Amino acid sequence: MARAVAGPEIERLVQLLARVPGLGPRSARRAALQLIKKREALMAPLAGAMEEVLAKIETCPVCGNLDVKSPCLICSDPTRDPTLIIVVADVSDLWALERSGAMNARYHVLGGTLSPLDGIGPDELNIAGLIGRVREGNGGAVGEVLLALPATVDGQTTAHYVTELLRETGVKVTRLAHGVPVGGELDYLDEGTLTAAIRARTAL
């Protein structure tokens, strides 16, 4: 059994860091050590920032994004295209799309995908909020709903379910293209990705 190399406070810091996605036990120890070594320049400001965010963070009542203001920065931005709503499963997906800078639209965060095996049904997701937004703005405001959901079985099930609910609103429903990524080599792609790319082929 491995012995503790530091006091319980430091060990607790390591254990908490190890819960962060992308950080295993070893990476957490390295991160903790860097924080401790640079406690004045790094740890103190980080602790202050985390305390401030913890006190101010809110879930946007409009789209489900996480921000320190309500409605969130995106929903409050008058330069955003009100005719397009991009539907994502999680806030991390929203942030990823924003980093691309490809769209200047509004978003709707479902809070996950349908997963009967995990007990996640429509009532556990923010689907009703999306339908309400489309109906309220369907007098001309919302013209398209882009489903940017994961290319998994649960993601596609969710996309199909949402599409059926939106059908009666008359809004245009689209989804992200699936297929060969930019810079991807065919030999390294799985069969599912190749099949999706072939089915979604376009004319030149």
> In the predicted model, what is the mean pLDDT of residues 131-153?
85
Residue 173: beta bridge partners? 145
User: How many Cα atoms occupy the beta-carbon half-sphere of 171 within 13 Å?
Assistant: 30
Residues 103-114: pLDDT tens digits?
899 999 999 999
Determine the Cα–Cα distance for residues 19 and 134; give it in Å rounded to an integer.
37
User: How many Cα atoms occupy the beta-carbon half-sphere of 60 within 13 Å?
Assistant: 23
Q: Does residue 132 or residue 187 have the better pLDDT? A: 132
Determine the Cα–Cα distance for residues 14 and 6; give it in Å rounded to an integer.
10
Choose the weakest-confidence range: 84-98, 126-140, 158-172, 174-188.
174-188
Whether the pLDDT of residue 138 is over 70: the answer is no
The pTM of this model reads 0.84
Give the residue from 121, 117, 92 showing the smallest Cα distance to 107.
92
User: Residue holding tokens 């009666």?
Assistant: 168
